[in-house]
Every structure is written in C-alpha cells, then in structure tokens.
Amino acid sequence: MTVSFQVEGVRIGSGNLFLIAGPCVIESEKHALFMAEVIKGVTRSLNIPFIFKASYDKANRTSIRSFRGPGLTEGLRILKKVKDEVHIPVLTDVHETADVGQVAEVADVLQIPAFLCRQTDLVVAAAMTERAVNIKKGQFVSPWDMKHAVDKCRAAGNDKIFVTERGSSFGYNNLVVDMRSLPIMRKFAPVVFDATHSVQQPSASHGDGEQPASSGGQPEFIPVLARAAAAAGVDGIFLEVHDNPKEAKSDGANALESTKLRGLLKELLAVQRALAEAHGKP
C-alpha cells in the first residue's frame, strides 16, 4: 500500500515528481549553502519540490584515509543553517541508533543507508522519532524483501516511509538496476530512484601512495537511468549534485555536475507529461 504524506511542503507518494539532491558529504558550511541555493534556484524555476541532501559522516568510505565529513555536531549545525537560511527541508544519513535523537532535531528526513537497511534497531529508532524515513535498498536485497524494512517502520507507528533504489551488486565493483524493482516496491511504499549511486562502481579505484582507494563511476549514464525511472513512474529522483565533481571530497566519480541539472530535470518532466497524456490525465 503506497501512503502519500507531506514533508515540509513536499508531497511524497502523490505521483508528482520531487527531487532529493545535494553533495554526497558536507564539505564546508559555505559549500553546503552554495549548493542548496543553486539547486533550489533550478527546482523553483521548474516547480519541482526539493529536499536537500548531504551527509555529516560517511561511515562507509572505501579507505580509512578518505574524507568522512565534519561529524555529528558540526554537520547538524550546518544542516540547520541550510534549512533556516535557504528555507528547504533537509535529509541526512544516520548510521548509529545513538545519533538518531540528535539528527531528528534537525533533519526532516532520516535516511537509512543501503548497507544498514536490515538493521532493525536503527530502522525502528528512526521511525520512532516520527520524522519521515527514507530506507535505501541494499545492493544485496531483493525489491520484495524491502517490505520487511517498511513493515518495521510501520510497526513502530510511523507511516511516513519511502524507499530508494540504488542498484544491485553485479559481480565485483559493479551495479545494475532492475527497473522491475520500482513498481514492485511501489506496491508497499513510495519509491525514489537514486540515479547517481546506481552508476557507481564501488571500490573500483585502488588508489596509490598519495590518493586513497575510492569508488569509481559512470556519470554519463545518469540521464539514461533517470529517464527510465521517470517512465517507470517513480515518485522521486535522488541525485548527488556537485559544482565540481572532480574536486568533490566524496562520490565525485558518480556525481552530476550542477550545470547539467536543469537539462536533466526538464527531460524528466517531459517524460512524466508524456505518460500523463498517454493515460488521458490532465
């Protein structure tokens, strides 16, 4: 059963496209505010509801030497400033049950990372805050099994849940997207498609003496997969967006350059309009 609900003016599950976007990790206060303003400007001109995304801590980096973010206290301070000054809802990952309460004081949406989607205590703790919860589908989980994660939230008394597809492991250092997963999961929750992590190549770069090992990516396929997901009828699109992906401190290899955002969103809206016309909807 797909339940429609609202997050600070953003309707989730209504069939109208919304966007979750931002840099992978909070790199600085200045950069977070800048990216939030840039993306808001694009989405406002296209009338697309927008939730800002950035992580205060990336606990699953490939290398121990990789940048993880500013940490809980400083990261939440920056996210609150983005929320208050740019006037947009914010979403961030939470990795530990001990962090959930503090994160819920700031974030409008608590995101369960893909590799933690089966962690019952974390999912239930996030649900009990009564904030909206986004559960990212693990690369190792079938779409129908994501219903168990959703049921954990509902059992904790929270119906404000959506799930995000981000590809499935296909051999080593590669992901593929089974588009059938989108309508399958939408039977029990609103569905978002993560078009940037789906083109990631996990831990593909082995690094060297100076550069730490990291994930690679194929960002040229972001528009292809995003258009396919829009045609499949998803509720939202998730994009990691950066003004200079080559200099990004996390996931730059699979991020969308901010100058390409407007063109991609216009394509997605065109796909959605074409579908509506084909089904005789105004």
Query: Three-state secondary structure along 59-116?
Result: CCCCCCCCCCCCCHHHHHHHHHHHHHHHCCCEEEECCCHHHHHHHHCCCCEEEECHHH
Provide the CA 263 distance to its chain's centre, in angstroms: 19
The domains located in the chain, with CATH, are: 5-278 (3.20.20.70)
Q: Can you read off the two tokens belonging to residue 281?
A: 């909807």
Q: How much is the pLDDT for 212?
A: 58
Using alpha carbons, select from 13, 14, 21 the residue that is nearest to residue 41: 21
pLDDT 10s digits, 112-167: 999 999 999 999 999 999 999 999 999 999 999 999 999 999 999 999 999 999 99
What is the mean pLDDT of the segment spanning 5-19? 94
Angle at 33 between CA 192 and CA 81, to 5 degrees: 95
Q: Can you tell me whether residue 18 is helix, strand or coil?
A: strand
From residue 153, alpha-carbon distances to 41, 57, 164, 187, 192 in Å are 33, 23, 15, 16, 17
pLDDT-derived band at 253 (thresholds 50, 70, 90) equals confident
Q: Report the predicted TM-score, pTM, of the whole model to 2 decimal places.
A: 0.93
pLDDT 10s digits, 194-249: 999 999 877 656 555 566 545 676 889 999 999 999 999 999 999 999 999 999 89
From residue 151, alpha-carbon distances to 91, 92, 155, 232 in Å are 21, 21, 6, 24
